[in-house]
Amino acid sequence: MKKIYYILATAVTTVLFAACTKDLNTLPLNPTDTTSETAYTAQEDSYLSGLAKIYFQFVSNDLTDLQLSDGGASELIRAYWSLNEVSTDAAKCAWNGDAWVAAVNTNTWSDANNDASYAVYVRTMQGVTFVNEFLRQTTDSKLSDRGCSEAVKASVAAMRAEARFLRAYFYWMAMDVFGAVPFTTEDSPFGAVNPEQATRAEVFQYIVDELTDLASDGSALPAARTNYPRADKGSALGLLARVYLNAEVYSGTPMWAEAKATCDRIFSMGYDVASNYADVFRGDNGQNPDVLKEMLWAVDYNADNTQTYGGTTLLTFAAIASDDVTDSSHLNGVNGGWGGMRVPYDYVEKYFRVSGQDYGTGEYTITDKRGQFFYINGRSEVIEDLSKFLEGWSCFKYNNIPHDKTAEQFNETAKIKGFSDIDFPMIRLGEIILIYAEACMHTNNASAALPYLKKLSDRAGVAAPTEITQDFLVAERARELMWEGHRRTDLIRFGLYNSSSFLWPWKGNSMLGQGFDSHLNIFAVPASELGSNPNLKQNPGYGKQQ
């Protein structure tokens, strides 16, 4: 059932887990308090509720134990997206009053508090802790002691595999942003013990090993395309392909053959690209069969049950100005505009070859269908002041209106919502095709990828490529994966992120753009974490080195 895990999560958040990550390793003094030891029963629903809490970590606004003032900004998908898009050529944020924005806009962060990176750190590490506790509570001996039936044990085995996938995803996000991170599993010492810090290469190898096992024939993880929006073997292979894609950055050793082979396995699982690119990001994408064939894993957003100010709510509301919303014109199916995120014109011009733009009428000419989401009425091309939202191009790629309704029809028949119904595509086939193309380029087998790339170009209405180069991949990933949270990681892999030869507006705190030091390719470990765990060391280039 599509919405079950978030509905359950809201009911069990305060029951199954303590708020503080350190307290998760202790039991309360009051014997009447509910803990994970007593919340699990012989019934399957109690374990589904525990799994729900882990999934809910991606969309949680709970500020308990987070030293932030804005719950919406603390959501994991929103925080990770902000680091990976706003710090690049793909997006700039107008909310310079928010603590993280100015530094991320201009690539000038330090080891001082950064709300976005702090949220990623704490949410991912909490997520790992939740998984570890779930796995401790679902061993065969625990299930037998509680009198669980064989049917419940079989269901819990699949849930355990899902939890392990989610832990691998949390570790991937943390490794991608911070490099070395604290490392624990369900087998780590139980109690108030400070975890050791694993190197990036060690975490990389752990993720590879976990995902390889989860995607194997003997794994209890559900078969591909059977568990939406929860994780399955297609999800595990999708993340594995992404990790292999960035293997040289993460471990120092490229693994292009492994990336290619993983994509080949995914292609055999029955996935296909959706017929209409725009539908992948519409309000009913989680119910649209044509879109579901492209999704390897998504996070479910629901305007009634997932009322968070992150994720796709951010990507609809923050992309529109309040003046753009009127009683008769809800341009992307939401009832307000936050005036925050927009795309620099340079990005649009460089990758979509736009022409004929008229800021009075809002019209422009573009061939690539992936560039038909921009809104320019009343906008301007040059971002002279980062705090002025109308400088730059608005992007309505995420549209809360269902795919089979026009804005007028939706406005007449539906209650315009204050939150998003759009599921966020964590891994989809469009990304896998581009991973395959890059792997084929590096293994001198580009011809094998061209038929797959043609699927993307045909859908976009543009000519198919006849060769694969890095310049093509930089541009094609900019078009196909725009605002999906990949850009920073891509530019680092291509050697362009901090480079003085690849510029964008406000890069390195220069309006025209300039390079910056390579230590900013990863973020600083939050000071609060360094202070509480003497086993942690700060990343090179930040503050006093140990």
Using the 3D structure, point to which of 136, 165, 193 is the last residue of a domain.
193
The length of the chain, given as a count of residues: 546
Distance, CA of 528 to CA of 530 (rounded, Å)? 6
Inform me whether the pLDDT recorded for 429 exceeds 80: yes
Distance, CA of 428 to CA of 535 (rounded, Å)? 37
Give the phi and the psi of residue 500 in degrees, each rounded to 5. -80, -5
The answer to whether residues 62 and 189 belong to one domain is yes
Residue 20 maps to a domain: yes
The confidence score (pLDDT) of residue 191 equals: 75
Distance, CA of 449 to CA of 442 (rounded, Å)? 12
Residue 472 maps to a domain: no
- The DSSP line for 117-183 is HHHHHHHHHHHHHHHHHHHHTTSHHHHHHTT--HHHHHHHHHHHHHHHHHHHHHHHHHHHHHSSEE-
Residue 227 maps to a domain: no
475 membership: H or E segment, kind and range: helix 470-480
For residue range 56-83, list pLDDT tens digits in order.
999 998 777 677 666 678 899 999 999 9
Q: Across residues 189-218, what is the average pLDDT?
A: 95
CB atoms under 10 Å from CB of 253, counted, come to 9
Residue 497 maps to a domain: no
Beta-bridge partner residues of 331:
none
Q: Are 255 and 242 in contact (CB under 8 A)?
A: no
Using the 3D structure, point to which of 390, 422, 454 is the last residue of a domain.
422
Give the phi and the psi of residue 454 in degrees, each rounded to 5. -65, -35
Residue 295 maps to a domain: no
- The DSSP line for 182-231 is E---TTSPPSS-PPPEEPHHHHHHHHHHHHHHHTSTT--SPPTTSSTTS-
Matching residue, tokens 């998504």? 298
User: Does this model's pTM top 0.85?
Assistant: yes
The confidence score (pLDDT) of residue 308 equals: 87
Q: Supply 526's token pair.
A: 């939050």
31 Cβ contact partners less than 8 Å away, ≥ 6 residues apart? none
Total structural domains within the chain? 2
Best CA proximity match to 236, nearest among 57, 244, 477: 244
The range of the structural domain enclosing residue 28 comes to 1-193
Residue 376 maps to a domain: yes
Least confident of 22-26, 307-311, 520-524: 22-26
What is the pLDDT confidence band of residue 36, given thresholds at 50, 70 and 90? low
For residue range 226-267, list pLDDT tens digits in order.
999 999 999 999 999 999 999 999 999 999 999 999 999 999
The CATH code of the domain that includes 55 is 1.25.40.390
Residue 24 maps to a domain: yes
User: How far from chain centre, in Å, is Cα 235?
Assistant: 13
What is the pLDDT confidence band of residue 305, given thresholds at 50, 70 and 90? confident
Residue 322 maps to a domain: yes
For residue range 104-150, list pLDDT tens digits in order.
999 999 999 899 999 999 999 999 999 999 999 999 999 999 999 99
Using the 3D structure, point to which of 422, 439, 455 is the last residue of a domain.
422
The confidence score (pLDDT) of residue 330 equals: 62
375 membership: H or E segment, kind and range: strand 374-380
